[in-house]
Amino acid sequence: MIQRDARQFIPNSEQALQDTTLQTALARAKSGFLGKRRKAIALVDDFEFLKQQAQAAKQRALDNIPALLDQFEHNLNAAGGQLHRAATPDDLNRIVLDICQRRQAKIITKGKSMVSEETHLNTALEQAGLDVVETDLGEYIIQLAKEPPSHIIAPAVHKTRQAVAELFRHHHALGERDLNEISNLVEEARQMLRQRFLAADVGITGANLLVASTGSIAIVTNEGNGDLTATLPPVHIVTASLEKLVENLEDAGAILEVLGRSATGQAMSAYTTFFTGPKRPSELDGPEEMHVIVLDNGRSDILQSEFAAMLRCIRCGACLNHCPVYSNVGGHAYGSVYPGPMGSVLTPLLEGLNQGHVLPNASTFCGRCAEVCPMGIPLPDLLRKLREQEHRQQLDSTGWRMVLRFYSWLATRPRWFHLAMRAITFTQRLLRDASGTRLRVPFSNGWNRQRELPAAPDATPFLQQWQKQQERKP
Ligand code: SF4
């Protein structure tokens, strides 16, 4: 069984690679995401310009977080809402629970919120006896399956249509029906969820943006479930992390320009909604109370560190979709709330290097993640810095540390280094296969089965060529 522990990345990955259903689902999802993003970007004259605008907007906010949070609070209060500051995940869960208990809530509907995954909010609410219903289709599916999300924007991406049909048959007592088409599955989920939307006492959503100049929050979904969760119950609770703040609506617009295109290949989701406070006396619809809980959970420290750029992340998922590691092992293998390249940086920062130090090694350093990131986050550089910290804190394996120590000894002694290179060149000649172009390394059958190690050519080594050239100089 896949373990929810980031330190188990390697055994989890081995299992994931053997899982044929998962491999089918991942292959299908990958081609869909990549193609849609490519097309959406091709339709824009200058996507680089949009990216720069979005990055500048986010950076302006990160440079001024404490003041923006105060301004957001002031404007939210003026609109009738209330801000709560949560330093830790437990604080956030306690604030939500207090609100629910004060309102004597029983049924809670939830829109997608990665922050609530970070704080394990559902578990906290369920332990207090509340009935929590996820309303994003993907989240609903994995809630039925009792699994965590495997992607930050497509939580059930690891499930095939057949697996979802099986889940629905098991959990919905609706008798015989045709669940072969995706449209039938969607319709059934809609029917089941509609009753819960109408019965909910509290709706909890995440937020993609917190706009300081107006006190508004923006929610972007693909199904409109966020809007129903926010407007139907009498209480709306928003869970968001500190870095969601932006200065004003123009900056929010700049970020939305790149979010949809990078995430789902849409110019903008049809369900992009700004909420400013609860229902006003003259309005018919909307909640009576609106609470925005802003979670820090170590982000203030990250902001002061060499990893501050990571807080520019807008959770578009593009780095996951383009990562050769994520697309082969899926999100659960990471054993953490945030998978893929962004998760491999965020997890050690949020949960500590002791817990997350294996994840920065889950990268080939191909650099694709940084190339596609609309927020210009230098993910490979950040992963490298975390690997350095892992090495300094001696969290990497003893064998690997000894190899590095030996290499650093060798590399600083030119005579020994050249002797070693000659010995390696000689040995690799003995290991060539019949074609003479590949090496067969003894005792590494697993490696050889999956890959080809090319043999070095018989040409004169560079250093010898260089020396000869120097000798020929007058
Ligand atoms: S790191 Fe960049 S590409 Fe990855 S989710 Fe965040 S914004 Fe998107």
Residue whose tokens read 């995954």: 117
Structure-block tokens of residue 3:
């373990």
Percent of the chain past pLDDT 70, that is, above it, reads 98
pLDDT at 48: 96
- Using the mean position of ligand 1's atoms as its centre, give its distance from the Cα of residue 204 in Å: 24
Query: pLDDT: is 287 or 397 the higher one?
Result: 287
| Pairing verdict, β 107-110 and 209-211 | unpaired
Query: In the 3-class helix/strand/coil scheme, how is 36-81 assigned residue by residue?
Result: HHHHHHHCCCCHHHHHHHHHHHHHHHHCCHHHHHHHHHHHHHHCCC
Using a 6 Å cutoff on CB, does residue 342 contact ligand 1?
yes
Task: Round to whole Å and give the CA distance between 7 and 246.
Answer: 34
User: Are the CB atoms for 55 and 342 separated by under 8 Å?
Assistant: no
Which pLDDT band, with edges at 50, 70 and 90, does 257 fall under?
very high
pLDDT digits (tens, 9 = 90+) for 35-91: 999 999 999 999 999 999 999 999 999 999 999 999 999 999 999 999 999 999 999
Residue 364: is its pLDDT beyond 70?
A: yes
If we measure between CA atoms, which residue out of 60, 76, 315 comes closest to residue 212? 76
Give the type of residue at 312. R
Separation between Cα atoms, residue 159 and residue 177, nearest integer Å:
20
Mutate which of 262, 311, 313 for ligand 1? The one with the most ligand atoms within 8 Å of its CB, which is 313
Which sequence spans correspond to the domains of the chain? Answer: 44-300, 415-472
Which stretches within 79-181 are classed as H helix? 89-102, 114-119, 121-127, 137-144, 161-171
Q: How many whole angstroms from 318 Cα to the centroid of ligand 1?
A: 6
Q: In this predicted structure, what is the pLDDT of residue 200?
A: 98
| Ligand 1: residue whose CA is nearest its atom 2 | 373
What are residue 393's phi and psi, to 5 degrees? -85, 5
Contacts of 344 (CB under 8 A, 6+ apart): 334, 356, 359, 360, 362, 363, 383, 386
Q: Quick one: which H or E segment has residue 108?
A: strand 107-110
Encode 197-222: b = buried (16+ Cβ within 10 Å), e = exposed: beebbbbbbbbbbbbbbbbbbbbbbb
State the Cα–Cα distance between residues 135 and 137, nearest whole angstrom.
6
With beta carbons less than 8 A apart as the criterion, state whether 148 and 2 touch.
no
Shortest-distance Cα residue to atom 7 of ligand 1: 313
Tokens describing residue 416:
């020994």
Check residue 30 and give its pLDDT: 81
Closest Cα partner for 209 from 163, 260, 149? 260
Provide the token pair at 255.
């970020």
Q: Residue whose CA is closest, atom 8 of ligand 1? A: 316
The predicted structure's pLDDT at residue 308:
98
Report how far ligand 1's centroid is from the alpha carbon of 57 (Å).
Answer: 15
C-alpha 72 – ligand 1 centre gap (Å): 25
| Span from the CA of 314 to the centroid of ligand 1 (angstroms) | 6
pLDDT at res. 413? 95
Minimum mean pLDDT range among 185-189, 352-356, 401-405: 401-405
Ligand 1 centroid, distance to 263 Cα (angstroms): 9
Tell which atom from ligand 1 comes closest to the C-alpha of 314.
7
| pLDDT band for position 340 (cuts 50, 70, 90) | very high
What band does 439 get if pLDDT is binned at 50, 70 and 90?
A: confident
Burial of residue 61, with CB atoms counted within 10 A of its CB: 0-12 exposed, 13-18 middle, 19 or more buried: buried
One of 2.30.40.10, 3.20.20.140, 2.30.110.10, 3.40.50.10420 is the CATH number of 44-300, namely 3.40.50.10420
For the Cβ of 292 lying below 6 angstroms from any atom of ligand 1, the answer is no
Q: What is the pLDDT of residue 461?
A: 76
pLDDT, position 79: 98
Query: What mean pLDDT is reported for the chain?
Result: 93
pLDDT of residue 263: 95
DSSP 8-class letter at 331: S
Between CA 120 and CA 291 the distance in angstroms is 19
Q: Residue 123: pLDDT above 80?
A: yes
Q: Distance between the two ends of the chain, CA-based, in angstroms?
A: 69
For 319-352, b/e burial (b = at least 16 CB within 10 A) is bbbbbebbbbbbbbbbbbbbbbbbbbbbbbbbbe
Number of other CB atoms surrounding residue 474 within 10 Å: 2
Please identify, by atom number, the ligand 1 atom nearest to the C-alpha of residue 345.
1
Rounded to the nearest whole angstrom, what is the distance from the C-alpha of residue 384 to the centroid of ligand 1?
17
279-323 pLDDT, tens digit per residue, is: 999 999 999 999 999 999 999 999 999 999 999 999 999 999 999
Between CA 319 and CA 34 the distance in angstroms is 11
- Residue 376 Cβ inside 6 Å of ligand 1? The answer reads no
User: Out of 172-176, 327-331, 332-336, which region has the weakest mean confidence (pLDDT)?
Assistant: 172-176
The answer to whether the CB of 318 is under 6 A from ligand 1 is: yes
Kindly state if the Cβ of 313 falls inside 6 Å of ligand 1. yes
User: Burial level of 387, CB count in 10 A (0-12/13-18/19+)?
Assistant: middle
Q: How far is the CA of 316 from the centre of ligand 1 (A)?
A: 5
Cβ partners under 8 Å of residue 222, min gap 6: 264, 269, 271
R_g (Cα) of the chain, nearest Å: 26
Number of neighbours of residue 230 by Cβ within 10 angstroms: 25
Length of the chain: 474
Specify the pLDDT at position 445: 64
Helices 414-430 and 398-411, axial angle in degrees (round to 10): 120
- CA distances to 346, 360, 391 from 304, rounded to whole Å, are 15, 20, 22
Nearest residue (CA) to ligand 1, atom 3: 373
**Least confident window among 217-221, 263-267, 340-344, 458-462:** 458-462
Model confidence at 361: pLDDT above 90: yes
0.85 exceeded by pTM = yes
Residue whose Cα lies nearest atom 4 of ligand 1: it is 319
Is the pLDDT confidence value at 20 over 80?
A: yes
DSSP state of 2: -
Which two structure tokens, joined as six digits, stand for 400?
Answer: 């690997």
Which pLDDT score is estimated for 1? 66
Digit-coded pLDDT (tens) for 159-196: 999 999 999 999 998 888 999 999 999 999 999 999 99
Residue 56: C-alpha distances to residues 209, 260, 302, 325, 375 (Å):
15, 18, 19, 30, 9
Helix (H, G, I), strand (E, B) or coil at 245: strand
Which DSSP state fits 146? T
